[in-house]
Structure 1
Amino acid sequence: MEKRSIWAWIVAILCFIILMIVTPSIPQSQDYHNFADHRVFLGIPNMLNVVSNFPFLVIGIIGLILCYRGNYFQLSLEGELLGWTCFFIGVAAVAFGSSYYHLKPNDSRLVWDRLPMTIAFTSIIAIFVIERIDEKKGKASIIPLVMAGVVSILYWRFFDDLRPYALVQFLPCIAIPLMAILMPPMYTHSTYWLWAAGFYLLAKLEEAEDKTIYSWTHHVVSGHTLKHLAAAMVPVFLTLMLAKRSIAPERQSLLKTWKISWTNYKDSRVDVKSSNYSQIDVSIAE
Structure 2
Amino acid sequence: MQKVLFKIVCSIAIIAVVVVLFIQPISQNQGYHNFADKVNLFCVTNFWNVISNLPFVIIGFMGLWKTSKSFQGYALKNNFLFFFVGIFFTGFGSAWYHYNPNDATLVWDRLPMTISFMSFLSIIIGEFVDSDFGKKALPWFLSIGILSVVYWIIFHDLRFYLLIQFLPILLIIVILLLSKNNPASKKYFWLILLAYVLAKVLESFDIQIYKKTNELLSGHTLKHFAAAIASLVFYSFISKKNQILIKNAR
TM-score (normalised: structure 1): 0.78
Q: For residue 183 of structure 1, what is the aligned residue in structure 2?
A: 179
Structure 2 matches for 1:207-218, cutoff 5 A? Answer: 207-218=203-214
Structure 2 matches for 1:67-106, cutoff 5 A? Answer: 67-69=67-69, 71=70, 74=71, 77-78=74-75, 80-106=76-102
Give the partner amino acid of 1:228.
H
Cα offset, 1:10, TM superposition: 8.8
Q: Secondary structure at the match of 1:139?
A: helix
Q: Secondary structure at the match of 1:190?
A: helix
CA distance in 2, matches of 1:181, 1:12: 15
| Alpha-carbon spacing, 1:236–1:9, altered in 2? closer, same or farther (3 Å) | closer
Structure 2 matches for 1:109-148, cutoff 5 A? Answer: 109-148=105-144
- Structure 1 residue 151 and structure 2 residue 147: aligned? yes
Q: Secondary structure at the match of 1:45?
A: coil
Cα offset, 1:241, TM superposition: 1.5
Q: How many residues align?
A: 241
Deviates more, 1:200-209 or 1:16-25: 16-25
| Alpha-carbon spacing, 1:196–1:8, altered in 2? closer, same or farther (3 Å) | closer
Give the partner amino acid of 1:142.
L
CA distance in 2, matches of 1:232, 1:13: 27
CA distance in 2, matches of 1:211, 1:161: 26
Q: For residue 248 of structure 2, what is the aligned residue in structure 1?
A: none
TM-score (normalised: structure 2): 0.89
CA contact (8 A) 1:77 1:130 kept: no
Q: Secondary structure at the match of 2:239?
A: helix
> What is the Cα-based RMSD across aligned positions, in Å?
2.5
Q: Residues 164-185 of structure 1, C-alpha deviation per residue, up to 9 Å, x if partnerless?
A: 1111011122222332232123
Q: Residues 124-160 of structure 1, C-alpha deviation per residue, up to 9 Å, x if partnerless?
A: 1111221222222221110010010001001111111
Structure 2 matches for 1:1-286, cutoff 5 A? Answer: 15=15, 18-69=18-69, 71=70, 74=71, 77-78=74-75, 80-186=76-182, 188-245=184-241, 246=244
Larger radius of gyration: 1
Q: Which runs of 5+ in 2 are unaligned?
A: 246-250
CA distance in 2, matches of 1:223, 1:77: 39
Q: Residues 94-132 of structure 1, C-alpha deviation per residue, up to 9 Å, x if partnerless?
A: 110000101110001001001111000000111122122
Q: Which runs of 5+ in 1 are unaligned?
A: 248-286
CA distance in 2, matches of 1:187, 1:82: 23
CA contact (8 A) 1:189 1:244 kept: no
Cα offset, 1:75, TM superposition: 6.5
Q: For residue 265 of structure 1, what is the aligned residue in structure 2?
A: none
- The structure, 1 or 2, with the larger RCO (C-alpha pairs under 8 Å, 6+ apart) is 2
Identity %: 36
Deviates more, 1:20-29 or 1:202-211: 20-29
CA distance in 2, matches of 1:193, 1:10: 20
Cα offset, 1:20, TM superposition: 3.6
Q: Secondary structure at the match of 1:240?
A: helix
